[in-house]
Structure 1
Amino acid sequence: MVLTLLIALCWTPQTQAAVANNAAEFTISPVYPAEQQAGNTGYFSLAVHPASTVPVKVKITNTNQHQAVTYRLKVGNATTNPDGSINYANFKAKKDPTAQYQLTDFIDHAKRGQKITVPANSDRTVTVNLRLPAHAFSGIVAGGVYVERLTNGANQQSGNFQTQNRFAMTLPILVTEHPHAKRIAKMQLAQVKVQKGQIAARLHNVRPVLFGKLTIHARITKVHQTKALVKKTVTNYQVAPNSAFDFVVTDPKQPLNAGHYTLTMSLQSGKRQWHFSRAFTVTASQAAPLTKRTGWLGLPLLLWLIGGGLILIILALVAVILKQRKKLSQQ
């Protein structure tokens, strides 16, 4: 059996150093163009002009002393993960309907993915050109350059398992035409989803603004009641421009029965606040997964199965003992 480990190091814009990992045996670092506005930050922060071309260069250093290594370089778009982190190189997500542009709109389709082989103990620089549209855009367009090591190192054998290490790293890219403009985020509660036994709030940043330090307070009550059945608070979430994510409110230990409920949410980042309230319904069929998952009286179903099995074994032993005693008494 082969167990593949993929380590993706996605640097947030606070990073001050080149992305590196000793086990990966390679590093990546930005080669800043003239459009770089934030100095040596460890990521690309570009102030650009319409109808211009900006070279985004990434230096890949192979620190393996004996082996040439092949890497794949791809460009992706920034999205927000459910845990409140930003994925700067998402290749699958569809373009958000509120976004004027996404980063891959600025790159020729054929150049979005490249392969390069770097000799042992050497470095090579790969260039991806951003071709800005003639029409101006507002806010920030965010994404990243993703570099994956394709040449595998030595496999590790442990019993029946063979571990094959794979490594990937990402450098964020932030692009704006108005670096000094004041940007105000706007969050919306798009919908409340009941699926797979969970209640999730679909939160949507509808503006081209990247921001962080987001605190979310959520509570669920019965309709027209004030007693909270579920409470959840998180802090330090980051949100990508023009992106949506599912914020899971419920806890598996606090299942909701079929009925009518109200979700109330308060969000705050700096001085900006948003307040939402939305009624939703949990049907009997939607509540079923919760019951199956938690079992009777809120205990996991597996515990009930184990407990039931132990009781049957004990009853069988008691029956055998009583039968043996009856035989002995008849002799």
Structure 2
Amino acid sequence: MNKITNKIKFLTIISILIASFSIAVTSAYAQSENPITFSVSAIIPENQIDENLSYFDLKMDPEMEQTIQVMITNNSNEEITSYIAVNSASTGINGVIAYSEHGIQDKSMKHSIEEIAVVDTPEVVIPANKSTVVDIQLTMPKESYDGVILGGIYITAESNAENEESSSDGFEIENKIAYALGLKLTETEKQVKPNMNLKTIEPSLEAMRTAVNVKLQNSEPIIMKNVMIDAQIYKKGESEVLHSAKTATAEIAPNSSFDFVVDWENNKIEPGQYRLKMRVEYEDDYWEWDEEFEIKDDTSSSVNDEAINVDDEFPIWIFIIAGVGILSLLLYLAFIFGKRSKKDEDK
């Protein structure tokens, strides 16, 4: 009887260990069942500047009107609904060009692509394993311009059969994906000289962590790639760098503003006087700033209160150690019970 009891205990512990590892696998699998897939391709017109590109890179004229076309192919085995919008290019945190947000227009932008491009049918139903062509009407401004107008044709799709599923764990899964196709419009070959402005410096939360955001602006209609940005923050009157951030791969959309994040390493942001030294380099041009700024008590308190694990009495590494300790204990108990079972069998 003792042998059977020990074996049951041993198998129970092993089952618990196996189950704990299989839960994550099961959840991940449930979220990937029956995915919808679709593809998007530009039907390249004659006024394409670079025919090797898969997105629209068009040579335009003032007041020019043109219809461009996009083919959307439903590669899944069920009917989908696709939603089409034209969005101005924006620059995300730390320098990433994006096309997913509608209605963003920097103050430096003279012509918005959202005013130039109109989608004929912003919502289309596509049968399983079929394609649909969508027309987009372009109407250029009266006055000529130098540089580029940049945007993206942003397309989302969702299944008509099951827009929302539930996994075995009870979580809702939204079966929806998105695709962005570039749309770049150019009228002249004149080279535009880049310009960067420093707009604001203020504390913030990024991924629920304390940080200071430096808002930068590309005020010209030029795409900037492989931009180097280097920032250091000091306490006013001190020479030791308090926090810093650097990148050499930033991409900045024309006529756009974005936040460059200086991570505060999840320490509390103390109110007081600070100094920012920053340098931005793009090809042969560079911009430098040496600015003093103040963080007020109410602003720092608001950010600190909402941040996760700021000065927490139980840092995350404690939870990691505790988890490893519990797992080690379970393995040890499994070993002991296994050893006892073997002794009982040998008697």
Counterpart code for 2:187: E
Q: Which runs of 5+ in 1 are unaligned?
A: 1-5, 7-21, 308-331
Q: Which TM-score applies when normalising by structure 2?
A: 0.74
Tell me the equivalent position of 1:29: 41
Change (3 A) 1:250 1:120: closer
Superposed counterparts of 1:114-263, under 5 Å? 114-152=122-160, 155=165, 157-178=167-188, 180-196=189-205, 197-263=210-276
Residue-pair matches, total: 283
- Does the 8 Å CA contact 1:75/1:112 hold for their aligned counterparts? no
Counterpart code for 1:174: K
Q: CA deviation at 1:23?
A: 4.4
The structure where strand makes up a greater share of residues is 1
Tell me the equivalent position of 1:321: none
3-state SS in 2 of match to 1:75 = strand
Residue-by-residue CA offset, 1:170-210 (whole Å, 9 max, x unaligned): 101111101x3222211110111234553211100000111
Alpha-carbon separation, structure 1, partners of 2:45 and 2:85 = 19
What is the aligned-residue RMSD (CA, Å)? 2.9
The structure where helix makes up a greater share of residues is 2
Alpha-carbon separation, structure 1, partners of 2:252 and 2:112 = 15
Residue-by-residue CA offset, 1:123-178 (whole Å, 9 max, x unaligned): 11111011112211221111111111133465352222232321111101111101
Alpha-carbon separation, structure 2, partners of 1:209 and 1:99 = 11
Q: CA deviation at 1:285?
A: 2.2
- Does the 8 Å CA contact 1:30/1:57 hold for their aligned counterparts? yes
- Does the 8 Å CA contact 1:252/1:290 hold for their aligned counterparts? no
- Does the 8 Å CA contact 1:72/1:149 hold for their aligned counterparts? yes
Tell me the equivalent position of 2:22: none
Tell me the equivalent position of 2:85: 74
- Does the 8 Å CA contact 1:153/1:165 hold for their aligned counterparts? no
Change (3 A) 1:259 1:112: farther
Alpha-carbon separation, structure 1, partners of 2:110 and 2:304 = 44
- Does the 8 Å CA contact 2:215/2:258 hold for their aligned counterparts? yes
- Does the 8 Å CA contact 2:218/2:254 hold for their aligned counterparts? yes
Q: Which runs of 5+ in 2 are unaligned?
A: 1-30, 320-347
Alpha-carbon separation, structure 2, partners of 1:245 and 1:203 = 6
Q: CA deviation at 1:52?
A: 0.9
